[in-house]
Amino acid sequence: MESGKEAAANAGASARAGMEKTRAAVQGKVDKAAAYTTGHREAAVVNKEAAEVKKQQRIRAAEEEKQRAMRDHAAAKERASGEETEDRNGGHSPAPAGGHGE
C-alpha cells in the first residue's frame, strides 16, 4: 500500500516539476522576445542571454525540487516500513542471524 502512495506522490512531484519547467520555458521565450524591444542590438543580446540563464535556473530548481520530493517520499516509506516491522516484532528488532545468545 505504501508503494502506491509513494508512486502517487512521486507522480505528483514529477507533474509539478513538469509544469514549472514549462512555465520557465514560456517565460524564457517571453523574456527573449521582450529583449528585442529595447531598440539596442547589444542590449538585446545581453537581455536574451540573461533570459536564457534565468530559464535554465528555474528548470534546474524545478528538477532539484522534484528529486528532493522523491527522496522525501522514499524516506517516509522507509520510516513507515520500519514502524511496521517494529509492530510485528512486539516493539523489538528481529533477532540477529544465527543468534543463539551470542
In DSSP notation, 21-78 reads HHHHHHHHHHHHHHHGGGS-HHHHHHHHHHHHHHHHHHHHHHHHHHHHHHHHHHHHHH
Show the low-confidence residues of the chain (pLDDT under 70): 1-2, 38-39, 84-102
Q: What is the pTM of this model?
A: 0.61
pLDDT, position 81 = 80
